[in-house]
């Protein structure tokens, strides 16, 4: 989901609250102020959920991989939580549930003598939110395509481009890499609705990664920043903008001789203050999350990955817990 709130309408499934923005009557001005207040409250809460999903921790992003391999991934993630609003708004007791399926393709290749990867990720989600508006129950349910993501990563040091045969004798020490992830605005979007699965805007996330191994243990650290373009059709022509989100993720990984590995994951991100038609809201974020990831090789071509994460601290008070499972199939000669 993305952070799509209200302009002058609080949309519910069949019972929208509409305000005539062209009227100068006192009642209309009060209604517009209330709608703007609700918009900020909704944007603040939904930013927490959407950004937490977008910024999920990813262990082993900068590990070395034999070049010339292809990976097909299919995954499912379930998340649920509560959306916290300013007590001065008319929205209360809001909860959400999200079921997301993901299909991804990854290709490893050589760049300047080091290993590199290209990822293409396409999500499809079912999302439902329920809450009270002025004491009346409201809900929104969605099913559709989310914004696809494209990620290019290259290791700059410590991960030489190797064939599968050469990789058998490789032992990691220190790896340094960089990546760029781009999210394209092609997901489900309806500018008459309160919530959408697509963002109707671009995002760009450059990241720097360090991975250091000591025997079976590996420690990783990856700071990043996400930039957003403006959504100029936010609820019927309003302009929604968001400041950059600064994040850092860390992992402590243990790899067993069988090839099974486990990771303790940590993620902190801050920033992301939003504005509606140039008017800034007081919803800057500061969120800490923790999680666990387990990878289980099945055979040479197939593996499973299980993960779970939850919020530890948050400036806004919104809560998010998620669990996921992913299957990976590998093919290619590895040259």
Nearest to 96 by CA among 126, 136, 124, 56: 126
pLDDT tens track for 283-297: 788 889 999 999 999
The residue that leads in pLDDT, 157 or 235, is: 157
What pLDDT was estimated at residue 315? 67
Segment among 95-99, 160-164, 240-244, 256-260 with least mean pLDDT: 95-99
**Residue 168 pLDDT greater than 50, yes or no:** yes
Q: How far apart are alpha carbons 282 and 39 in whole angstroms?
A: 12
What's the CATH code of the domain at 165? 2.40.128.130
Residue 62, Cβ density class (10 Å: 0-12 exposed, 13-18 middle, ≥19 buried):
buried
Q: Is residue 75 part of a domain?
A: yes
The residue that leads in pLDDT, 53 or 73, is: 73
CA 92 to chain centre: 25
Q: 45 Cβ partners below 8 Å, 6+ apart? A: 83, 84, 85, 94, 316, 318
DSSP 194-218: S--SS-SS-EEEEEEEEEEEETTEE
Question: Nearest 5°: phi and psi at 47?
Answer: -60, -35
Q: How far apart are alpha carbons 190 and 187 in whole angstroms?
A: 10
Nearest to 173 by CA among 160, 163, 162: 160
Q: Is residue 250 part of a domain?
A: yes
Q: How far apart are alpha carbons 76 and 103 in whole angstroms?
A: 9
The residue that leads in pLDDT, 134 or 46, is: 134
Q: Is residue 47 part of a domain?
A: yes
| Domain limits for position 259 | 9-331
Q: Is residue 19 part of a domain?
A: yes
CA 262 to chain centre: 22
Q: How confident is the model at residue 85 (pLDDT cuts 50, 70, 90)?
A: low
What pLDDT was estimated at residue 18? 33
What pLDDT was estimated at residue 284? 81
Nearest to 119 by CA among 209, 203, 197, 180: 180
**Residue 37 pLDDT greater than 50, yes or no:** no
**Within 13 Å of residue 266, how many CA atoms lie on the same side as its CB?**
11
Beta strand 149-157 pairing with 231-234:
unpaired
**H/E element, 20:** none
Winning range, highest mean pLDDT, from 19-33, 192-206, 251-265: 251-265
What pLDDT was estimated at residue 84? 59
Instruction: Find out whether 198 and 183 touch, Cβ atoms under 8 Å.
Output: no
Question: What percent of the chain is helix, strand and coil (3-state, nearest 5)?
Answer: 10, 55, 35
Q: How confident is the model at residue 207 (pLDDT cuts 50, 70, 90)?
A: very high
Q: Is residue 1 part of a domain?
A: no
**Residue 135 pLDDT greater than 50, yes or no:** yes
Q: Tokens representing 305? A: 């990955």
Number of residues that make up the chain: 335
Dihedral angle sign, alpha carbons of residues 189, 191, 192, 195: positive
What pLDDT was estimated at residue 15? 31
Q: Average of pLDDT values for 299-318?
A: 85
Q: How many domains, in total, are found in the chain?
A: 1
pLDDT tens track for 246-275: 999 999 999 999 999 999 999 998 988 888
Q: Is residue 186 part of a domain?
A: yes
Q: How far apart are alpha carbons 154 and 67 in whole angstroms?
A: 12
The residue that leads in pLDDT, 139 or 107, is: 107
Nearest to 85 by CA among 74, 93, 76: 93
What pLDDT was estimated at residue 247? 93
The residue that leads in pLDDT, 14 or 180, is: 180
Helix (H, G, I), strand (E, B) or coil at 7: coil
**Residue 10 pLDDT greater than 60, yes or no:** no
Q: Where do we find the tokens 């093919």?
A: 331
Q: Is residue 72 part of a domain?
A: yes
Q: 264 Cβ partners below 8 Å, 6+ apart? A: 251, 252, 290, 291, 292
Winning range, highest mean pLDDT, from 131-145, 215-229, 318-332: 215-229
Helix (H, G, I), strand (E, B) or coil at 162: coil
Q: Is residue 86 part of a domain?
A: yes
Winning range, highest mean pLDDT, from 9-18, 153-162, 182-191: 153-162
């Amino acid at each position: 989901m993305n952070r799509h709130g209200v302009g002058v309408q609080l949309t519910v499934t069949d019972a929208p609250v509409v305000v005539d923005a062209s009227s100068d009557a006192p009642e209309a001005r009060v209604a517009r102020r209330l709608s703007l207040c609700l918009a900020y409250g909704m944007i603040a809460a939904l930013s927490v959920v959407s950004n937490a999903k977008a910024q999920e921790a990813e262990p082993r992003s900068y590990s070395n991989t034999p070049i010339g391999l292809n990976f097909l991934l299919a995954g499912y993630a379930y998340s649920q939580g509560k959306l916290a609003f300013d007590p001065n708004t008319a929205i209360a007791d809001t909860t959400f549930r999200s079921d997301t399926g993901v299909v991804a393709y990854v290709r490893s290749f050589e760049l300047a003598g080091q290993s590199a990867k290209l990822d293409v990720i396409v999500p499809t989600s079912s999302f439902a939110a329920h809450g009270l508006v002025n004491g009346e129950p409201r809900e929104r349910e969605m099913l559709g395509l989310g914004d696809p993501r494209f990620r290019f990563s290259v290791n700059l040091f410590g991960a030489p481009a190797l064939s599968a045969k050469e990789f058998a004798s490789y032992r990691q020490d220190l790896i340094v890499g960089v990546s760029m992830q781009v999210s394209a605005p092609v997901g489900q979007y309806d500018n008459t609705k309160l919530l959408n699965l697509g963002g109707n805007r671009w995002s760009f996330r450059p990241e720097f990664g360090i991975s250091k191994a000591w025997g079976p243990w590996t420690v990783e650290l990856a700071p990043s920043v996400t930039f957003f373009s403006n959504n100029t059709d936010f609820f019927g022509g309003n302009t929604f903008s968001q400041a950059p989100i600064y994040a850092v993720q860390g992992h402590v990984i243990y790899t067993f001789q069988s090839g099974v590995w486990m990771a303790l994951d940590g993620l902190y991100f801050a920033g992301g203050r939003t504005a509606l038609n140039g008017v800034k809201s007081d919803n800057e974020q500061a969120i800490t999350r923790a999680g666990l990831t387990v990878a289980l090789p099945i055979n040479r071509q197939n593996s499973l990955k299980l993960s779970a994460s939850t919020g530890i601290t948050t400036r806004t008070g919104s809560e998010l817990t998620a669990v996921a499972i992913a299957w990976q199939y590998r093919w290619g000669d590895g040259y």
